[in-house]
Structure 1
Amino acid sequence: MYVGSNRYSKYRNIGPALLSEEGHMITKAKKWIRRELAVFDFLNPSSPDFGRRERRATNAEYLLEYIVAILKSIDLKGSAGQADELLKNYLGRENARLFLHELESWLRSPFERLKEWDQATQYAEPK
């Protein structure tokens, strides 16, 4: 669920400039991206689905660096959906949207440890 940016929540708005200025934000992003990319079997060399998808990349580390480049250059919430478009060829449109939404939420948060993030994150009940 969305948490507003303010001094009480310690959530803040992010964008390419902030990520470039604050080096620890890239480290924070990579921590989350590595964990989340592990969900996709076609990126896991020990999976029978490894490399079978018709995707441009089958290497998780390549995709991680590609996503970091997107973060450094494009606003994830851009109205044109540029970040979604760039990532859809790798993860599929719906997965890309959800992935980028969750990534932005993680980066906006005051949490530095994934365990804390997991414990605090709340999701709306499905309708």
Structure 2
Amino acid sequence: MPIDATQPYDDANIFAKILRGEIPSKKVYEDDFAFAFHDIAPQAPVHVLVIPKGPYVSWDDFSARGSDAEIAGFVRAVGHVARDHVGPGYRLLANVGGDAGQEVPHLHVHVFAGAPLGPMLAR
């Protein structure tokens, strides 16, 4: 079922369950605003997901409803994970909605690294 980035937040989504500790994950980083963990189906040698702790469906939802502290804290957490846990040469990706390939209705930023990643989109 495609994700509608404007849908109400569903607290039964897999990332909400990970945040509540109902589903295990391989944690990389955590602070007051974000939680980062290894993707269970990595698309690169290093593939980490960074999610905000608040109930946000997408980047659109987060940028519209998140507090200034949440937004700054999350952006800093993504930077921290990329710098200190992934290393130089990485790609950040946040899909918004079904047409972009968003599979889980909780904002998440993919951090890819560990090998040359090639072009952004197939040509």
TM-score interval for Structure 1 and Structure 2 normalised by the shorter chain: 0.3 to 0.5
| TM-score normalized by the length of structure 2 | 0.33
Instruction: Name whichever structure is richer in helix by fraction.
Output: 1
Higher relative contact order (CA 8 A, sep 6+): 2
| TM-score normalized by the length of structure 1 | 0.33
Instruction: Name whichever structure is richer in strand by fraction.
Output: 2
Q: Larger Cα Rg: Structure 1 or Structure 2?
A: 1
